[in-house]
Amino acid sequence: MTYKKGDKIGKYIVTRDFDSTNGGQGQWGFAEYNGEQYFIKKFLNPVYPEVKAPGSQKGKQKKKGKCKEFERKHLGMMQALKSCGDGGLVVKTTDFFKCGNEFGSHYFKVSQKVDTSNLSNEIYNLDWKKRLFIMLTSAGALKMLHNNGIIHLDLKPDNILIQEWEEKLIAKIIDFDSSIIEGYSTPSEELAGDPLYLSPEFAKHINTHGAELPPTKKSDVFSLGLVFCQYWTGRLPSFSEKHNYPYEALLNEEKLELPRNFLISTEEEKLTEKTIFQLIERMLILDPHTRISINEAHDNLKAISSGELLKFSPKISLSEETKRLSKGSRIKTNFKTTNLEKQKGKADSSKSGRVKFNFRKKI
């Protein structure tokens, strides 16, 4: 069932027809309750079997067990997000419930509706100071999550909304469907994300069915580094045509090249870009232990915003670090050759939502 304007879901009245665009494994729309507007998402799976649901009792009990685990995860994340305060940089879940009929019920997640700017995919065209402030607030939002033990695991431009606030553009992180709580074990087959923004260690964990160490907060830092590259230059880092995604290039001992901007007009902007690139390089280091934390990235962005030009010490180039650390990798990928134009196509297709994958060799 697709909900239309005027339909009722629990206590919420739908104010915008549901849509599946960028919905991943679900549909979404807007709804109103008690005079407030909300974003509401319907999960297509799992479906809770009610009294008249078809199937055997054993099968229905198994489905109910999966549903209870699904509830536990989302209610736990909703509770964890409450610790992130009311600063507004994290769009928190406000309600989670199931609704349906005597045959089955779907799950729904509700959060605050955010009036966003239409510049989310055009940030690189903004004045460099505005770009820098968006990056600063993005890092501030992720810092808030990490300080409360939340690992997002699906950071990409579609999950960072841009909102106008007091004549400034600020970032707000959304969509915690793939997120985990630090310290809690999650089976590798239940982890999902967008391969275009995936960290090398996250890819290795999934590809080895959990034999490699699970992703950590540093995995989010890598993803945000790729987002920052797009914010600043309009493009992802470039790499060999042999690979589809940035993490593949790093795992195969290749380097990521940050795009250069040849339209810089002032010395101040030139020096700032140099420092921003140094920061992004440290966010994209292969080894998560050497990669900087989000606290360091946020502190550096604050310093850059205040006019300080940082000097990372020791200075490790991305290519040198990649070459040194890749040699000890337990996995070498061997993917189908593509060209760099396909990378852009992958970036566009990533807007379709979250992807669950097993990294089989492409045919």
Is the pLDDT at 296 greater than 50? The verdict is yes
d(CA 5, CA 29): 9
Q: Is the pLDDT of residue 338 over 60?
A: no
What is the distance between the alpha carbons of residues 146 and 111, in angstroms, rounded to a whole number?
20
3-state secondary structure of 165: strand
The tokens of 69 are what?
């685990």
φ/ψ (deg, to 5) at 273: -60, -40
- Widest distance between CA atoms in the chain: 72
Q: Which of 115, 108, 113 shows the shortest CA–CA distance to 37? A: 113
Range 254-275 average pLDDT: 86
**CB proximity list for 44: less than 8 A, separation 6 or greater:** 25, 26, 27, 106
Structure tokens of 184? 């809690």
Tell whether the model's pLDDT for residue 251 goes beyond 60: yes
pLDDT tens digits, residue range 142-189?
Answer: 999 999 999 999 999 999 999 988 888 999 999 999 999 998 888 888
Written as six digits, the tokens of 4 are 């239309």
- The reported pLDDT for the residue numbered 292 is 97
Q: Which has the closest alpha carbon to 293: 303, 302, 282, 301? A: 282
User: What is the rounded radius of gyration, in angstroms, for the C-alpha atoms of the chain?
Assistant: 21
Distance CA 243, CA 18 (A): 36
Report the alpha-carbon distance of residue 156 to residue 315 in Å, rounded.
27
For residue 195, which of 24, 346, 21, 26 has the smallest C-alpha distance? 346
Using CA of residue 55, residue 47, residue 178, residue 235, what is the dihedral sign? positive
Q: Of all residues in the chain, what percent carry a pLDDT higher than 70?
A: 83
Residue-level length of the chain: 363
User: According to the model, what pLDDT value does residue 122 have?
Assistant: 85
Give 85's pLDDT tier (boundaries 50, 70, 90): confident
DSSP line for 268-312: HHHHHHHHHHHHHHHHT-SSTTTSPPHHHHHHHHHHHHTT-----
pLDDT the model gives residue 121: 77
Q: What is the DSSP letter of 356?
A: -
> What is the average pLDDT score of the chain?
85
Residue 49 pLDDT grade (very low, low, confident, very high; cuts 50, 70, 90):
very high
Segment among 81-90, 91-100, 114-123 with least mean pLDDT:
114-123
- DSSP-derived letter for residue 178 is T
Domains annotated for the chain, with CATH where assigned, are 8-112 (3.30.200), 123-352 (1.10.510.10)
Selection from 170, 133, 161, 174 nearest residue 306 by Cα: 133
3-class secondary-structure state, position 220: helix
What band does 78 get if pLDDT is binned at 50, 70 and 90?
very high
Q: Which residue has the higher pLDDT, 61 or 317?
A: 61
Cα 146 to Cα 333: distance, rounded to the nearest angstrom? 30
What global pTM score does this model have? Answer: 0.84
Amino acid identity of residue 46, one-letter, is P
